[in-house]
Amino acid sequence: MMQTPSLEFKVSVVIVSDYEASTIKSWKVEERMLKAFAAQTFDESFEVLLVDNEQYQANVPDHLYGIVPNLRIVFSSEIQSARLKDYGVELASGELVAVLEADAPPCQNWLQTLVEILRLNPDVAVATGRTSYGTENTYKRVLNLLDRSFDDLGKPGTTPNISNNGAVYRRSVLKEFPYPDAATPFLSSRLRNKLIREAGHKFYFHPDAVTFHEIGGWGFIVDVRRNMGYSDMNTFSNKIGYSAIPGLMKRRLKKELSYCKRLGKQYLRWWDWPLFVTLAPIIPFLEVPGMLDAVQKKEEIPRTAYR
């Protein structure tokens, strides 16, 4: 039975799963996310909306409702994560709305840090933070730098990018800029961020607001990079075609090296550098299949776990 709180809240949290949609759902990822919000240091009441496709409606474990106060678990006929996020925003009551992906739970001060930024800076439309795979081994530290540092300034400040894994928005911005239709959540997010930025809205990054993203093995990396290649071809190429691929690969390598120059000392330990040097030139090649998907005008990325 869906819980419906009678109160309206100044802050809402919308949680959506964007990965590995299937007919079998364990709810363990969502449980971990709800526990992360139960542990937040935020000193006022907020609502949480967990949003998913209606195929899972009959299988919600009862114990989820007791994890965090003011929880609503709601369902939609939509399957794409972008549409589910927009659906959650429609139901949210807060003037500030946090939007997160279920496999990236936040640190304890995440909500407090980002909400405070928006309240102290009325010219800021969106506040975001650092996404981390964890720092306990070389693999995770290197992939943090390669995959997750694109919006990281290394210090608090305005940024041109928003993390799709977790950010707090002014509700008015979310209402004005719903997610554009796209084959992948990577591209949909990038297109929307561009529209918000071009409308003159300011984004702010704070490294203390960390979300901890799940990470898989090589198949996970390949899937991420195929989606990124598809997005790059559709957003950074002057003309979509095979001839654009070498230039996009060069652009990707330059971006990875710029992340290294800006953040390498923060992200890596001295013994991590050999793996970084090995992977950095390989990454552009992993994005080529996605570029080819875009050239061939595929409306879905083959074999991707993202929805």
pLDDT in tens, 62-76: 999 999 999 999 999
Rounded Cα distance, 60 and 79, in Å: 17
The residue-averaged pLDDT of 250-261 equals 94
The residue-averaged pLDDT of 217-226 equals 94
pLDDT at 264: 95
The residue-averaged pLDDT of 21-26 equals 65
Let me know: does 92 contact 74? Beta carbons within 8 Å: no
pLDDT at 23: 55
3 state DSSP class of 209: strand
Question: Over 70: is that where the pLDDT of 1 sits?
Answer: no
pLDDT at 211: 97
Mean residue pLDDT across the chain:
92
Question: Over 80: is that where the pLDDT of 130 sits?
Answer: yes
3 state DSSP class of 16: strand
The residue-averaged pLDDT of 109-116 equals 98
Let me know: does 112 contact 42? Beta carbons within 8 Å: yes
pLDDT at 238: 87
**Alpha helix positions (H), the chain:** 28-38, 81-91, 110-120, 138-147, 171-176, 185-198, 218-236, 245-267, 273-279, 283-286, 288-295
pLDDT at 267: 96
pLDDT at 6: 46
**Residues 6 or more apart in contact with residue 186 via CB below 8 angstroms:** 164, 227, 228, 230, 231, 306
The residue-averaged pLDDT of 103-111 equals 97
pLDDT at 20: 63
Confidence band, pLDDT 50/70/90 cuts, at residue 32: very high
pTM of this structure: 0.92
Nearest to 276 by CA among 249, 245, 253: 253
